[in-house]
Amino acid sequence: MSKITFSMGGIHPNDSKFARECAIEVLPLPATVYVSMAQHLGAPAKPIVQVGDMVKTGQVIAEPGGFISAFVHSPATGTVKSIAPRKDLAGNNQIHVEISVEGEVWEDGIDLSKTLVTAIPEDRNFILDRIKNNGVVGLGGATFPTHVKLNPAPGKVAECLILNGAECEPFLTSDYRILIERTKEIVVGAAIMQKVLGGCSCVIGIEENKPEAIKAVKAAVSELGYPGIKVAVLKKRYPQGGEKQLIDAVMKRQVKSGGLPIDVGAVVQNVATALAVYEAVQKNMPLITNTLTVTGDNVPVNMMHNYLFRIGMPLSYVVDRAGGIPDMAAKLVSGGPMMGKAIANIEATTVKGSSSVLYLSEEATLRKPASNCIRCGKCADACPMGLEPFLLNRLSKAGDLEGLEANAVQDCIECGCCLYSCPANIPLLDRIRISKGQVMGVIRARAAAAKAAAEAAKK
Ligand code: SF4
Ligand code: SF4
């Protein structure tokens, strides 16, 4: 079995997939759900319901707030109790629709049967409308609206759809579980996206540490018989699931600084997004569920789970259902230990892109006392984007935004490989992330000024 990987940098952390054997369990609804209007990249959605309204499960409760935005649907049946700011994971206020749960009545037109629908609709616009109207966003972390990503700008041609089944972050096992429990739906979802992209080829990339998933997906691809879909076995190497790293591994093409995957003919989607696309197009099912992993280091087996959750569930509720916060937990993280976000507010709710609740011990948090740089270069060797993190760190400390931009801080994918590799435990990622935000702000302001000047010149 030949294995492929990306060409530069990367690390080999212990994969710690302790919850891999935990079959997906359905989390029952709590008494109240709080549905965020900011569950996707882009403008927050705008509520279209009022306090006191009765809503059905799957009913639209918010419309897109701009071109890059998404519909949001009710995850439950009940009464709208409030539409008000509530703190998200990071402690920032976002508008949430609070719904008291009262029974379960589904919106009309949703196919709740388990029947696998394999016939791919012919009409591209029908497919894109279903994906848009059902609020599908990328579930690999970015939550970019899927209907926009599947509709490249004029002149851009998709040659290859790459389905990301790498799940290279340690601990996470939700993608693995859907790969073996919802295999055929994922393959149909891939075929739908191939169709909408004009019949390009499709490669489903899965890391070598998931042999059962590789076997299951290969069997489903063969049985369903859609043309042009292949399975690629990826070497276990972090960050193998990064968009640019997957394109490098599969197509041997590099996305230039500031460029997009479509510039080299690639569209990358996560396997969970393929499942959501299947549900949206073949079942008219809105994106109100996803799968998340509850796990950590030194966590008792009975406290590890892979849950099918509905959006709007407080994380405190998820944690309670899973057995409570274990004593060893020094830090709670949403997402993987490398790129995830610290949970600053346990009353924050699940959103479309939620992928985990991780309990990390002091030892696993990678936070140790920092010493001086010994100029070993290990951070640069580990960087999958070819950057020099020690230099970016130095420029960041000096507040040199010009130097940071010249040294491509904007290309940092915030993977944390530099931090992981640094023997001096320098918090490289923290500083680089802040500097990247500042430089991106400068780049955006410059682009806006150039656009305004061009428009003024036309008048
Ligand atoms: S976090 Fe950024 S600088 Fe550090 S290794 Fe990853 S891409 Fe490179
Ligand atoms: S890995 Fe750490 S100690 Fe080594 S060069 Fe980079 S910043 Fe300095």
| Span from the CA of 178 to the centroid of ligand 1 (angstroms) | 29
Cα of 427 to ligand 1 centre, how many Å?
Answer: 12
Lowest mean pLDDT among 111-120, 362-371, 427-436: 362-371
pTM listed for this prediction: 0.94
Shortest-distance atom of ligand 1 to CA 379: 5
Q: Which atom of ligand 2 is nearest to the CA of 377?
A: 5
Helix, strand, or coil (residue 422): coil
- Tell me what the mean pLDDT of segment 272-301 comes to: 96
> Whose atoms come closest to the Cα of 377: which ligand?
2
Per-residue model confidence (pLDDT) at position 148: 95
Which residues are within 8 A (CB) of 73 and not within 5 positions of it... i.e. 6 or more apart?
A: 58, 59, 60, 61, 107, 134, 135, 286, 287, 288
Protein residue closest via CA to atom 7 of ligand 2? 390
Determine contact, residues 206/231, Cβ cutoff 8 Å.
yes
Ligand 2, atom 6, residue with closest C-alpha: 379
- The number of the ligand nearest the C-alpha atom of 409 reads 1
Tens digits of per-residue pLDDT, 194-222?
Answer: 999 999 999 999 999 999 999 999 999 99
pLDDT tens sequence across 116-175:
999 999 999 999 999 999 999 999 888 999 999 999 999 999 999 999 999 999 999 999
Take residue 69 and report the two structure tokens written for it. Answer: 């935005």
Q: Which residues pair with 165 in a beta bridge?
A: 206
Is the CB of residue 140 less than 8 Å from the CB of residue 163? Answer: no
**Stated length of the chain:** 459
Say how far apart CA 93 and CA 87 lie, in whole Å.
4
Q: Which residues line ligand 1 (CB under 6 A)?
A: 382-383, 385, 387, 389, 412-418, 428-429, 432
Tens of pLDDT along 413-440? 999 999 999 999 999 998 999 999 999 9
Looking from the CA of residue 421, the nearest atom of ligand 2 is 1
Mean pLDDT for all residues in the chain: 95
Amino acid 366: pLDDT: 58
Q: Is the pLDDT of residue 184 over 80?
A: yes
Question: What are the two backbone dihedrals, phi and then psi, of residue 86, each rounded to the nearest 5 degrees?
Answer: -150, 150
Q: What is the whole-number distance in angstroms between the Cα of residue 249 and the centre of ligand 2?
A: 27
Ligand 2 atom 8: the closest Cα is on which residue? 373
Protein residues with CB under 6 Å of any ligand 2 atom: 373-379, 389-390, 421-424, 426, 428
